[in-house]
Amino acid sequence: MSSSSLINYSHQRHMESYALALVAGILVGFVLLVLIATYGKSFKAEIPPDVDQPSKLCLYHCVYTLMEILAKNLESLGILKEHVLMRLVVDGLPPCRDSELCVKDLHFEEVPVRIYLSKAPAASKRRGVIFFHGGCGIFGSIRSHERICRYIARKSNSVVVSVGYRLSPESEYPAQTLDCLTATESLLKTAQNHGVDPERVIVCGDSIGGTFTAAVCQELGNRRDIPKIRAQVLIYPFLQALNFNLPSHQKNAFIPFLSRERTAYFLLKYLNKDCSMKEAILAGSHVPESIHLKYRKWINADLIPDRFKLGYKPPLPASFSPQVHEETKELFHIRVSPLLAEDAVVSHLPDTCIITCEHDVLRDDALLYKKRLQDNGVQVTWHHMEGGFHCALGFFGYGIFSFPSSSKMVNHIVNFIKGY
């Protein structure tokens, strides 16, 4: 073949590739437009003007919603389970290698963990931080919180243990909490083998990881056969499943990533329950009057400071459904709703750092728990992110793609840890 023929052939192949790429782009664009037109209501969200970088948050919300819609459609077609695709989204991109840290993948009994510690020699045993990632018990992983754990290890000079607990629906509740308990007990028992001072172990978690943190500290609080946990860090934790009509639920009902509706939906999926009960749960139909009256002293909008109740309207009483109650009894377990623990348990909890976000449906869970801890004599350090929103921590370490509140939260965590 002559050189001119080769040039023409190469040019033809280039044009064919360009045409294919153009067609593929048009098809993808068409599919996206169809999805947006079909599922327009799913894109409904409220972007408060005082939230961190509202335009960026709006863009991320649209991308996340598109992926969620795509995942649901792939599952309905029998191609891929919804949670599998969403796990890939939540896990994010792997970070570059960190030359300052030694990273080891181990198992504490059967539970996978990743240990981060500085390569610099230590004059004495370091404090230990055990971290439980968020993700509704369905998403998230050691990888999704890699940047956060690395930063904490570097900046606080601690040994950080990130726990890869089993996820739902493959592993049914309470496998997740049990894995977190196992990992924590193992670290407390073998701390010195990992260069950790057993008297300076701090438990930390975000979202449902905060649920696991609270539950683990409650269950180990009175143990005498292992060292005591020194402190706990709760980052916008989920702490109760009785009342989804608190001021923060109303104010932030349509905030991106974790709306009020998604909260109930993911909770039911986590527990492997019928998600059609979502509206009944949100209304409070699962709570009998006796339980409502019993816990009113701890879960009540009247206990929320006035500055967080602007625009709040007390909901109308819900009609009780014995069937929904019977099918969702796990919602009243302490491992799901740590806010229901008795004072005898709460009073033995360690020093606590609580981080809340203004634009978060779960804000009031943490405010109510803060009050309970303080009422029982537990020392509490509280940081409130005025521009923060649920899931903001997950964007930490992505440079210009991150949010101001992401860095603020991690630095508050580091400063609290360094106090121990």
Residues annotated as part of the active site: 207, 360, 390
Of 139, 94, 142, nearest to 114 by C-alpha is: 142
Of 49, 87, 7, nearest to 389 by C-alpha is: 49
User: What's 47-92 look like in SS3?
Assistant: CCCCCCCHHHHHHHHHHHHHHHHHHHHHHHCCCCCHHHHHHHHHHC
402: left (phi over 0), alpha (psi -120 to 50) or beta: beta
Of 420, 309, 311, nearest to 368 by C-alpha is: 309
